[in-house]
Amino acid sequence: TLSIDEISSALKKVGLDSVPQEPNTYPALNPFDIYRSHITELLAKQTGIDASTIYKTLAWTAKPENGDLQMAVPALRIKGKDMKEFAKEVAENFPESPIVERPVVNGTWVGFFFKPAALTSLVLPQILKAGPSYGFNPNLGLKDPSDPSAGRKKVIVEFSSPNIAKPFHAGHLRSTIIGGFLGNLYEGAGWEVIRMNYLGDWGKQYGVLAVGFDKFGSEAELEQNPIGHLYDVYVKISKISHDEGEAAKALKAEIAKLKEEGKDASAQEAELKKIEEEGVDQQARNYFKRMVDGEPTALGIWKKFRDLSIVKYKETYARLNIRYDEYSGESQVKDESMDEAARIMQEKGVSEDSEGAVIVDLTKYSKKLGKAIIKKKDGTSLYLTRDIGAAWERYQKYHFDKMIYVVASQQDLHLAQLFKIQEAMGRKEVADKCQHINFGMVLGMSTRKGTAKFLDDILRDVGEKMHEVMRSNEDKYRQVEDPEKTADTLGISAVMVQDMKGKRINNYNFDMDRMCSFEGDTGPYLQYAHARLNSIERKAKAAVPDLPEDLSTADFSLLKEQHAVEVVRQLASWPDVFLNTIKTQEPTTVLMYLFKMSHMVSSSYDHLQVVGSDREVMIARLALYKAAKQVLNNGMRLLGLSPVERM
């Protein structure tokens, strides 16, 4: 990153004697901060209005033709003036500035354009010096910005959270992608991030699974392909359990009928008894009870399932650049935590008995929240009970400032209940720090071999599709070094970008052809844009071997063309896009920017050739493209993509 001294001397060169810096701004990290502060200083002097008021009214523009920043004059809250007149007055009296043009007036809006030459010579070195950190701001996560020794804020991002022995469905896919992005986002803002995977690994179904493994399992297959094998076992044993259930139902009906007719039903009764006492369901219940009681053999088998599954999950997550700090799960929630919560809820009158079960009636807070069961008649805990205990345990362990649950909107009610219950039982401090980041559904997600079951299947399939697309251009294909690996990376980008393109809450169609296309706003398009910028640098170096390594000292006054200026304006706004993304917590905020910026870069190629231009022009243009590649790279990594150098 540039030091404040370097920024100061860069500003001197363009004619500004001091570094404009309003409170909580970062001129060395964000060019827009310089401009906002500078305009604020000038306007405060000129109008006598308080600097903090002015600063807040300087907003981004939706269209570049409105300026780089604009001010809604009515927001200055000056009484007794005609706002249109005042806007004109503000613009007319705006003093000469070395870095900002004469303001333009549009109704009650005043628009400010940055002077291109100054902007270019400030921003490009800033990007080239900051490199992979350009746009990010580690100060934002400081507990106390004026005292770094006070430490960083802490956030838990809980995401993905699949269920062992069950398919990895679209909800888990989206949670993985969005959660990975959110972890990076907070890290970029200097927070301490704890990535947590809360596995669905507890409940009677794990008794079912163990019983099934006894019948159908194979140790060898378990070692080889734990996730797939456990799923197969689960499907087989569930079928038996289902059939037994049906048989029991039929028997009951038959017994009732026989009795009504006064006939002997003892044979049927014996059969029913056999199912009820020895069937899969009862065996599973017994088994799960042994797990709950902490019986070592039962727990040992279950732990093996869990451990082997985690090994496999880790490999798959690594392909998406995701690593967890903690694999927790429903099984890890301590009985004591749940007992304590139950006691508090009872003492405070939050919970009540209802036909042997324990419930919390949340309708008194809001009808929509309904009544939540927290303990079943047989005394066992539920999904919700475990979440109440887990949240408290995490708070004790991490003292987080924020905890994000990345879970599909199908579970809106569950999380709303969780948060409300915590509040009601006197844990408002925790509840206030919790946030549910939800998202819509993926429609029609299937692989070409059938309905998608596991993340690996999806990624493999999309990689194969991408490989086909790449092969359709033979010339190019031959130049790619490791086509399999590239296809894999492009496929992953395709899935991720399609997922992050719209607002989180929207549903979308899983459309393999669409997402794998190089045209339109797709993952492969972004990768292509990145690889192309990379190839410009490679070709220039090949053509002119003695090019300087450090391009930050290029003569930027040579970048006069409108196309160059437009690209620089885009690049200058990346740190602000990052800030905005922290507010929206939407990956689409980043993506829309990256597409816009890439389009602008791509339309400049014909106008700003590198190889073949005069040496100094060539160096300046190369600096521009290198800066563009850096920003694209930073944005892609924030999203969790792996930018490719060649394709």
407 binds ligand ARG (CB under 6 A): yes
Cβ proximity to ligand ARG: between 227 and 565 the closer is: 227
In DSSP terms, 273 is beta-bridged to none
CB contact at 8 A, 458 and 447:
yes
User: Which one of 88, 166, 289, 563 is the catalytic residue?
Assistant: 166
CB burial of 161-199 (b: ≥16 within 10 Å; e: otherwise) equals: bbbbbbbbbbbbbbbbbbbbbbbbbbbbbbbbbbbbbbb
CA-based R_g, the chain, Å? 31
Cβ proximity to ligand ARG: between 158 and 187 the closer is: 158
CB of 313 to ligand ARG, least distance (A): 13
Mask for 350-389, x = binds ligand ARG (CB under 6 A) = -------------------------------------x--
CB contact at 8 A, 240 and 202:
no
CB of 508 to ligand ARG, least distance (A): 20
Cβ proximity to ligand ARG: between 26 and 198 the closer is: 198
Q: Is 367 a catalytic residue?
A: no
Element (H, E) at 199: strand 192-199
CB of 380 to ligand ARG, least distance (A): 17
Per CB under 6 A, contacts with ligand ARG among 165-224 are 198, 200
152 φ, ψ (degrees, to nearest 5): -105, 155
Size of the site for ligand ARG (CB under 6 A): 8
Selected from 163, 447, 493, 570, the binder of ligand ARG by CB under 6 A is: 163
Any idea what DSSP says for residue 227? Answer: H
User: Which one of 172, 465, 501, 530 is the catalytic residue?
Assistant: 172
Cβ proximity to ligand ARG: between 155 and 623 the closer is: 155
Cβ proximity to ligand ARG: between 244 and 457 the closer is: 457
Cβ proximity to ligand ARG: between 213 and 405 the closer is: 405
Residue 420: CA count within 13 A, CB half-sphere:
21
Cβ proximity to ligand ARG: between 164 and 558 the closer is: 164
Q: What is the Cα–Cα distance from 102 to 512, expressed in whole angstroms? A: 50
Question: What CA–CA distances, in Å, run from 267 to 152, 244, 264, 279?
Answer: 71, 17, 8, 17
Q: In this chain, which residue has its C-beta nearest to ligand ARG?
A: 200
219: Cα separation from own chain's centroid: 37
33's CB contacts (< 8 A; 6+ apart) are 21, 22, 25, 26, 27, 575
147's CB contacts (< 8 A; 6+ apart) are none
Cβ proximity to ligand ARG: between 70 and 337 the closer is: 337
Cβ proximity to ligand ARG: between 299 and 413 the closer is: 413
Query: Tokens 């800030």 sit at which residue?
Result: 579
Residue 162: CA count within 13 A, CB half-sphere:
24
Mask for 119-158, x = binds ligand ARG (CB under 6 A) = ---------------------------------------x
CB of 179 to ligand ARG, least distance (A): 10
Q: Is 249 a catalytic residue?
A: no
Selected from 120, 126, 161, 522, the binder of ligand ARG by CB under 6 A is: 161
User: Which one of 38, 154, 169, 433 is the catalytic residue?
Assistant: 169
Query: Tokens 């296809």 sit at which residue?
Result: 487
Q: What is the Cα–Cα distance from 622 to 608, expressed in whole angstroms? A: 10
Q: What is the Cα–Cα distance from 288 to 307, expressed in whole angstroms? A: 18
Q: Is 563 a catalytic residue?
A: no
Return the structure tokens found at 28.
């060395």
CB of 156 to ligand ARG, least distance (A): 11
In DSSP terms, 194 is beta-bridged to 156
Selected from 405, 419, 578, 595, the binder of ligand ARG by CB under 6 A is: 405
Indicate the SS3 state at residue 432: coil
Cβ proximity to ligand ARG: between 205 and 493 the closer is: 205
Q: Helices 116-130 and 615-639: crossing angle, nearest 10°?
A: 60
26-31 CB contacts, 8 Å cutoff, 24+ apart: 26/137, 26/139, 28/1, 28/2, 28/3, 28/4, 28/126, 29/1, 29/130, 29/137, 29/139, 29/575, 30/137, 30/575, 30/576, 30/579, 31/119, 31/122, 31/123, 31/126, 31/572, 31/575
DSSP per-residue codes, 21-82: --TT--TTT-HHHHHHHHHHHHHHHHH---HHHHHHHEE--SSGGG-SEEEEGGGG--TTS-
CB of 407 to ligand ARG, least distance (A): 4
Cβ proximity to ligand ARG: between 407 and 445 the closer is: 407
CB contact at 8 A, 233 and 362:
no
Indicate the SS3 state at residue 253: helix
CB of 134 to ligand ARG, least distance (A): 34
Q: Just list the catalytic residues.
A: 166, 169, 172
Residues that bind ligand ARG (CB under 6 A): 158, 161, 163, 198, 200, 387, 405, 407
